Structure 1
Amino acid sequence: MSAVRTVLGDVSPGDLGVCDAHDHLFFGTPRLPGQELRSLTAARAELTAFREQGGGAVVQWTPYGLGRRAADLPPLSRETGVHVVAATGLHQAVHYDEGTLARLRGRLAEVFVAELTEGIGTSGVRAGLIKVAGGFHALDAHARWTMRAAAEAHHATGATIAVHLELGTAAPDVLDLLCGDLGVEPHRVVLGHLNRSPDPVVHRHVAESGCYLAFDGPSRAHHATDWRMPDAVRALADAGFGDRLLLGADTTTAAARSVDGGPGMPHLLRRVRPRLVDAVGEELVGRILTENLGRAFAVPWR
C-alpha cells in the first residue's frame, strides 16, 4: 500500500488534508546571506499560521547540507498538527563549499538511500523525497551527477524525485535525463517552479510525459510572474492535466515569512487559492491541494 513518508511516519495520502507541495521551514545558503531560516520559533509560528488557514501538510524541499534541522521537525509537526515531509537530495553546486561536495563523491546515491531508509544524520527522521536541481536552460556536470544519484536512490526506494528548475527552465532536459536515460517513470518526477517560465508550449510538452508540474513560488522573491499563473493552470487543466498540478509557497528567506511581514505559507491559501478558484473552479483547486500531492509523493516504500 502506498503512503506519504512524513517525519512522524507513513501517512495515507487521504489523511494529509490541504497541502503546500513545496516549502521550507529551515533553509540556509551562502547565496542568501542574512536571510537564513534558522529560527525554531518562527518555523512554529509559520506552521501555525498555515494551519489556521486550513493547511494540513507541508513538503519541505530543503536538501542535504542546507540546514534542514531534521531533529526539530517531528516536535514541530506534533505541536502544530501539520504533517511535514522532509527531503534528501542535493541542490546546485553554488550552494555548497568544495569540501562538502568532495566528501560526497562516489557515495551520493548511498547517502540519499540512507536518509530515505534509515534517517537523516542521527535524528532518525526519514526523508520522504529526493530533491535535486537543474541549471538555467541546461544541465551542467553537477546537475547530471546529482540526478544520476537521485535516479539510483529512486530505483532502490521508490521515492519521488522533485526538481528545482532554475527560473523554470530546462524541464525537457531534466525529463530526457531522468526518464529517458535513467529510467525513472515520469509520474515519479515533480518539476518545480514552472510558474517562473510561463511558456505554454513547454508546459504542455512536459505534462504530456506524465510528470507532475509544480507552480510553487508565490513568495516575495518571485511575485513578478504570479499574475500569469492562473492562466497557465487553466490552460493545463483545459488540456486534461488537472490531476498533475501542484501548488506551493516556497518560502526561502526570513523576509518572506508571514511572521516577518512577508506572504509565507499562509499566502498560498489566503490569496493564491481564491485567485485560482476564480480561474478554474473550486472543485479542481480542491483536488490540486489535496489529492494530487498524495499521488505525487505516495509510494510503496521498499
Structure 2
Amino acid sequence: MNRPAPRALRTVTGELSAASVRGPALAHEHLVLDLDRQGDGAAILHPERHAAAVTAELTALRKEFGLSLLIELTCRGMGRDVGALARISRDSQVAVVASTGWYYEPFHTPEIEAGTVEQLTEVLVREIEDGIGATGVLPGVLGEIGSHGDVPTDPEAKVLRAGARAALATGLSLATHAQLGRGGLAQVELLTGEGLPADRISVGHQDLLDDPGVHRELAARGAYVAFDTVGKSSYRSDRDRLALLLALLEAGHADRVLLSCDISRHGYLVEEGGQGYGHLFGSFLPRLRAAGADDDLVDLLTRRNPLRFLTGASEEDN
C-alpha cells in the first residue's frame, strides 16, 4: 500500500515541521560529494577539507537572507557522507535534507547491473526506513536520480523505476538529474507510468535547456521544473536563464518552479573565488525583482514551492 506524503521534513538532524521553515530554501545543492573521474580533484567537496568553507557560507546566508533549508542531492555513488552533512547542518544552523537513489549511468554502482527493479527498490526503501548505513540518518527525498540523452538508457530506466516505486512506498518525492536539461519529458513519462504523481517529481537542470515549450509541458503535467544551475556561467548566462524563467512565469507556472545553484565542485565555493551557494540570493533574485517579481512571488519560488515538493502539500497548506 502506498503511504501518504509526510507533513514533517526528514532532515539530517531529525524531523522538522514544514510550517517552521520561514526562510528560503535551496532546492538542489551538494555540500559533500566526489564526482572525480579525471583524477584532478576538481569535482569534489571533501567532508574535511571543504567543510569549514561550506559551513561558513551557509551560516552567512542564514544570517543575511534567512536561509532555512537545503535539499542535498548527493546520493549513492556520488561520495555521499551524511555524517558530514549533519555536522555542517548543526554548525550552520541550516536544516539539510539528505537523499538516496542513484545518479546517471557513468556513476552507477555495481548492484545496478545485477539487480532487478524490485531488488533496487528494496535497497532504497530499506535505506529510507532504517537509515543510511549505521548513521541512523533518514533520507528525506529521492535524488538526484539521473539520465542523459533524450531517452534514459536501460540501466537508467531501471533506476528511475526503482526510485518511483520507492517513492510510492515511502511517501517521499523524487528529484531527477537531466543531463544538460535533456530527457525530462521521458523521465516524467517513465516515473508517472510507475504510478508516481507528477507533483512529487522535480525535473533537474531545466535552465540548461533552451526550450520554453518543454518547460511549459513539464509544468502543465504537474512536475516541478528545476532552474537549479543558477550562476554556472560556463553552461549558460544568468541573463538567458532569467529570460527562460520569465517565459515560464508568464505562462502561469510560478507554482511549478524550483531554484538553486547546484554547487558541485570546490572551485564554486566563495573561498576559492566561485559564485557560492548565495549567488541565487545575492545576484539572480535581484535581477528577477528588477524584472517585476514581488515579495510573494519570491517567497513562492524559494520557500513554498520547495516545501510543497518535499511534502506533497497544496499551496493552501503553506
Alpha-carbon separation, structure 2, partners of 1:267 and 1:32: 27
- 1:109-124 matches, cutoff 5 A: 109-124=121-136
2:172 to 142, 156, 159: 159
Q: What amino acid is aligned across from residue 243 of structure 1 in structure 2?
A: D
**Per-residue deviation at 1:225?**
3.8
Shift of the alpha carbon at 1:14? Answer: 2.9
Q: Is the 8 A contact 1:162 1:191 kept in 2?
A: yes
The aligned residue for residue 248 of structure 1 is: 260
SS in 1 for 2:249: helix
The CA distance in 1 between the partners of 2:68 and 2:213, in whole Å, is: 33
Instruction: Name the aligned partner's letter for residue 292 of structure 1.
Output: N
Taking structure 1 as the reference length, the TM-score comes to 0.92
Distance 2:155 2:267 in 1: 29
Say if 2:184 is the partner of 1:171: yes
Alignment partner for residue 157 of structure 2, among 121, 144, 147? 144
Deviation at 1:113, TM superposition (A): 1.1
Whether the 8 Å CA contact 2:112–2:155 is kept in 1: the answer is no
Aligned partners of 2:146 and 2:156 also within 8 Å: yes
CA distance in structure 1 between the aligned counterparts of 2:82 and 2:215, rounded to whole angstroms: 33
Higher relative contact order (CA 8 A, sep 6+): 1
Pairwise CA distance, 1:52: 3.4
Residues 8, 182 of structure 1: alpha-carbon distance in 2 compared, 3 angstrom cutoff: same
Equivalent residues in 2 for 1:15-54, closer than 5 Å? 15-16=20-21, 17-31=23-37, 33=39, 34-35=41-42, 36-38=44-46, 39-54=50-65
Task: Give the whole-Å Cα distance in 2 for the aligned partners of 1:225 and 1:154.
Answer: 34
Q: Does 1:291 align with 2:299?
A: no
Quick one: structure 1 residues 266 and 157, their matched pair in 2 at CA, closer, same or farther if it must change by over 3 Å?
same
CA–CA separation in structure 2 for the residues paired with 1:223 and 1:285? 24
Q: 8 Å contact 2:27–2:306 — kept in the other structure?
A: yes
2:163 aligned partner, one-letter code: A
1:192 is matched with which residue: 204, 210, 219? 204
Distance in 2 (CA, whole Å) between partners of 1:219 and 1:240 is 24
- The number of residues matched between the two structures is 298
**Whole-angstrom CA distance in 2 between matches of 1:82 and 1:6:** 10
Partner amino acid, structure 2, of 1:127: P
Q: Tell me the CA shift for residue 43 of structure 1.
A: 2.6
* AA at the equivalent of 2:188: L
Query: What is the Cα-based RMSD across aligned positions, in Å?
Result: 1.9
Measured after TM superposition, the shift of residue 162 of structure 1 is 0.3
CA distance, structure 1, for counterparts of residue 280 and residue 38 of structure 2? 23
Contact 1:53 1:266 in 2 (8 A): no
Greater displacement, 167-176 / 104-113: 104-113
Tell me the equivalent position of 1:84. Answer: 96
List per-residue Cα deviations over 1:150-193 (Å, max 9, x = no partner): 011011101101011110011111111111x2111000000110
- Name the CA distance, whole Å, in 1 between partners of 2:180 and 2:80: 23
Residue of structure 2 in register with 1:263 after alignment = 275
1:182 aligns with 2:207: no
Deviation (angstroms), 1:112:
1.2
Q: Distance in 1 between matches of 2:115 and 2:72?
A: 22
- Misfit runs of 4+, over 6 Å: none
**Percent of aligned pairs sharing the same letter:** 32
Q: Following superposition of structure 1 onto structure 2, how do residues 272-283 of structure 1 map, counting pairs within 5 Å?
A: 272-282=284-294, 283=296
After superposition, the C-alpha distances for 1:188-237 in whole angstroms (9 at most, x for unaligned) are 00011000002111111111001111100024464524221222222222
Deviation at 1:31?
A: 3.2
Q: CA–CA distance in 1 between the matches of 2:259 and 2:224?
A: 11
Measured in 2, the distance between the counterparts of 1:225 and 1:293 equals 24
**1:204 maps to which residue?**
216
CA change 1:104–1:266 in 2 (3 A) is farther
Structure 1 unaligned spans of 5+: none
Cα-to-partner distance string for 1:238-278 (whole Å, 9 max, x where unaligned): 22211111101100011011222101101111111111112
